[in-house]
Amino acid sequence: MDHRNYIGLVIIAVIIAFIPTLVKNDYYIGILVFTALNCLTALGLCLLMGYAGQISLGHAAFFGLGAYSTAILTVNLGWSPWIAMGAGACLTAVIALIIGVPALRLKGHYLAMATLGFGAIVNIVFVAAVGLTGGPSGISGIPQLNFLGIELNTDKSFFYFSWAVVILGLFLALNLIHSRVGRGLRAIHDSQEAASSLGVNTSKYKIKIFVLSAAYASVAGSLYASFINYIDPGPFDVMHSVLLVVMVAVGGMHNIWGAMIGAVLLSILPEFLSALSDYFGGIGIAYKSDYDMLIYGGILLVIMLFLPGGLYEGIQRLLQASRNLINRFKMRAFS
Amino acid sequence: MAQPILQLIDLCKNFGGVVALDHLNIQVEKSSITSIIGPNGAGKTTIFNLITGIVNRSSGKVYYNNEDISGLKPHMIAEKQIARTFQNVQVFPQMTVLENVMVGRHVKSHLGFILSSLIPPFFRIEEKRIREDAHQCLSIAGLSHLAQKKAGSLPLGNQRQLEIARALAVEPKLLLLDEPASGLNSRETYNMGKLIQKIKEMDITIVLVEHDMELVMDISDKVNVVNFGRSLASGDPSEIQANADVIAAYLGT
């Protein structure tokens, strides 16, 4: 069982290696970079939501804190982007700790409201602290990453790099899930009382996973800033937090692979739809990015109604059903 | 009298204006099965919640091996090798039976967030040991054949056994069982009684809250009767059965 997960990592690596030979268009490679960054954030959020059972509607803020840390430290102070990324993750972790200690005493809707409020405040700071963040016009001229002497200045090189980070993130998350810590977190999800009666320090564990989850988002944010070289507060608003939750929920909260599926699907879908609408443009159907939220909302609604376990569970059920069908045919063939 | 492993002294608990426990005194001897019985709402589960730190006492003390443990957090109580089960079964339904018991090994294993993230499970010596220990606890409770089943899909009887297996994984010196036979049929109740006696033989002290009088009188070394949060009587099963106050409390006068 454990090993299957790690085989999954290898499969992803192989797919990633082959994608640039199939997808030649730089624009689409760029989309796949954003997909990777969403995967990374969704992974962290899945550890928090799916495994520990604590919701966060403020993860775009952590994503933004990472991006702005990189931007400010590299552009204003001339730091190396790598050190800026580490410093950003540390800063985000400290902020998550400060927010998490009081907020994680709350449960369910109240925790959702608290994190939502936090996300909104951070976004306002990005907009209003003009001296530091450049306000609505943002920060430009963020330097590229240089990985072991290779300048990550093309979409393709950054594509490989970002997905390597995702695979690393997945590897770490899988290790964590299949450990006493991971089981402790899942126990908290199911019953805090029982978990604590078995020696799991529930409040400490919730705070730690919140901080770790924020650090995942922060690293994704730093990579985002380094990739597009320019940031403004737009992508770090509350809607993005909601979108991240939708990704995790649509894919299937209770499994890390579900979060991956959700993040990939919802990152690629708008592009797929607009490509489709170009194709059908002749008959007067055009897809605009304004419709994104409509599509996301619709998908979430359908999934929650008919497949509460998310797409991952749906795929599993489908596999099981087809296995049953094959077995039945085999039985009939023998009899 | 033998060495007490657990002493509740003048324990009081108010929920708002409601007095749940009123200067309660109970002593539990080492290596015994001590039962706590009483009518519904007498405060029996509250006693367990106070010992395990899930609710805070209003006043009074809890001594465990002559050490004051009142006011400790639940996970610290578990570290002191006190384990419990719950009246409203609280297995972890999304996890397998084996994983449930593996959670019970939490206090007996040590890797934290960072090392757990860095080392894959198949390279961790600890992980293998946790798994083996958990299998052993499952076999004591007679659940080995269900190890890979989702805990939430088990019938109630097996879920109660699972809670005990999970509690045993803590390697408790003191085990608090909250109505382990409630909802079980007579055959399952009989098996539960056998299991409890088997655990006693492992030199684990057991405190039992139970409504099934046959079971209580059958396996208990000592019985405490609680009514309206106060100790009404205590003694060996035959004494309790003959006690006029107890009969009055149960039958009403």
Domain chopping of chain B, boundaries: 1-81+172-253, 91-170
DSSP 8-class letter at B150: B
Q: Residue B92: which region, alpha, beta or left (left: phi > 0; alpha: psi -120 to 50)?
A: beta
**How confident is the model over B79-125, as pLDDT tens digits?**
999 999 999 999 999 999 999 999 999 999 989 999 999 999 888 89
Whether A288 maps to a domain, the answer reads no
Question: Would you state the pLDDT for residue A71?
Answer: 95
Q: Average per-residue pLDDT in chain B?
A: 91
Tell me if B170 and A199 make a contact (CB, 8 A cut-off): yes
Tell me which residue range forms the domain holding A158.
Answer: 2-236
Q: What is the largest CA-CA distance in chain B?
A: 66
The tokens for A213 are 């989850």
- At residue B78, the pLDDT reads 94
| DSSP string of A221-254, one letter each residue | HHHHHHHHSEE-SGGGSHHHHHHHHHHHHHH-TT
Give the A-side interface with B, CB within 8 Å.
Answer: 2-3, 6, 171-176, 178-184, 186-187, 189-191, 193-202, 208-209, 212, 254
Q: How far is A81 from chain B (nearest CA, A)?
A: 24
Q: Exposed, middle or buried, B32 (CB in 10 Å: 0-12/13-18/19+)?
A: middle
Left (φ > 0), alpha (ψ -120 to 50) or beta: where does A60 sit? alpha
The answer to whether B75 contacts A196, with C-beta atoms less than 8 Å apart, is yes
What is the total count of domains within chain A?
A: 1
**Chain A residues within 8 A of B124 when measuring between CB atoms:** 179
Do B54 and A196 count as a contact with CB atoms less than 8 A apart?
yes
pLDDT reported for residue B17:
84
Q: Do B118 and A202 touch (CB under 8 A)?
A: no
Minimal C-alpha gap between A3 and chain B (Å): 8
The yes-or-no verdict on residue B253 having pLDDT over 70 is: no
Closest residue of A to B94, CA-based? A190
Q: Do B106 and A178 touch (CB under 8 A)?
A: no
- Residues belonging to chain A: 335
Predicted pLDDT at A23: 85
User: Does residue B199 contact residue B167 with C-beta atoms inside 8 Å?
Assistant: no
Integer-rounded Cα radius of gyration of chain A: 21
**Nearest to A210, CA basis, from A304, A75, A102, A330:** A102
pLDDT in tens, chain A (335 residues): 567 889 999 999 999 999 888 888 888 999 999 999 999 999 999 999 999 999 999 999 999 999 999 999 999 998 999 999 999 999 999 999 999 999 999 988 999 999 999 999 999 999 999 888 988 998 998 888 888 878 888 888 999 999 999 999 999 999 999 999 999 999 999 999 999 999 999 999 999 999 999 999 999 999 999 999 999 998 999 999 999 999 999 998 889 999 999 999 999 988 888 888 777 766 666 777 778 888 888 888 998 888 888 899 889 889 989 999 998 888 887 76
Q: How close A193 gets to chain B, by Cα (Å)?
A: 7
Our CA dihedral for A298, A302, A303, A308, rounded to 10 degrees, sits at 140
SS3 content of chain A, % helix, strand, coil (to 5): 80, 0, 15
Contact B119 A191 (CB under 8 A): no
Do A184 and B113 make contact, defined as CB atoms within 8 angstroms?
no
Rounded Cα distance, B162 and B201, in Å: 19
ipTM here: 0.91
Mutate to test the interface with A, among B69, B75, B99 (most CBs of A within 10 A): B75
pLDDT score for B232:
87
In a domain, A207, yes or no: yes
Residue A243 lies in a domain: no
pLDDT tens per residue, range B111-160: 999 999 999 988 889 999 999 999 999 999 999 999 999 999 999 999 99
* A214 found inside a domain: yes
A321 belongs to a structural domain: no
Domain B1-81+172-253 has CATH 3.40.50.300: yes
Q: Per the CB < 8 Å rule, is A183 touching B102?
A: yes
Q: A250 lies in a domain? A: no
CA distances (Å), B204 to each of A56, A258, A329, B44, B82, in order? 42, 43, 54, 21, 10
Q: Max Cα separation, chain A?
A: 80
